[in-house]
Amino acid sequence: MNFSIWEVIMLICFGFSWPFAIIKTVRVKNPAGKSYLFLSLIIIGYAAGCMHKIFYKGAMDWVFALYVINALMVATDMVLCLYYQKRRFAE
């Protein structure tokens, strides 16, 4: 077993949280209160986790998929925020 159960629990908890953030963004269509810096730092953190899994000998395992899925969800939320922000300024 090359992964930490704590790492898995953290990624699963975050993984269940991000869809709620995405749904809220879609529902209210207003990115007010969202921090692009925060979202960017989260993506960087997930990317660092991916890099660890790729480059650290013996670290590559199925947990890599959790990092990728979480990073994609955060990126989705960020893209939605940028889209709705642009739409608001175009009105």
Q: What is the C-alpha separation between 83 and 65, in angstroms, rounded? A: 27
Average pLDDT over residues 59-76: 96
Please report whether residue 7 resides in a domain: no
Please report whether residue 25 resides in a domain: no
Domain that includes residue 79, residue range: 34-91
Average pLDDT over residues 1-19: 91
Q: Which residues of 69-79 are buried (b: 16+ CB within 10 A; e: fewer)?
A: ebbebbbbbbe
Please report whether residue 2 resides in a domain: no
35: Cβ–Cβ under 8 A, 6 or more apart, which residues?
none
Q: How confident is the model at residue 91 (pLDDT cuts 50, 70, 90)?
A: confident
Q: If you search the block for the tokens 């990317």, which residue do you land on?
A: 47
Q: What's the chain's average pLDDT?
A: 93
Model confidence over 22-66: pLDDT tens digits?
Answer: 999 999 998 888 999 999 999 999 999 999 999 998 888 999 999
Q: Count structural domains, the chain.
A: 1
Is 39 within 8 Å of 74 (Cβ atoms)? Answer: yes
DSSP helix/strand/coil, 31: coil
Please report whether residue 67 resides in a domain: yes
- This prediction has a pTM of 0.90
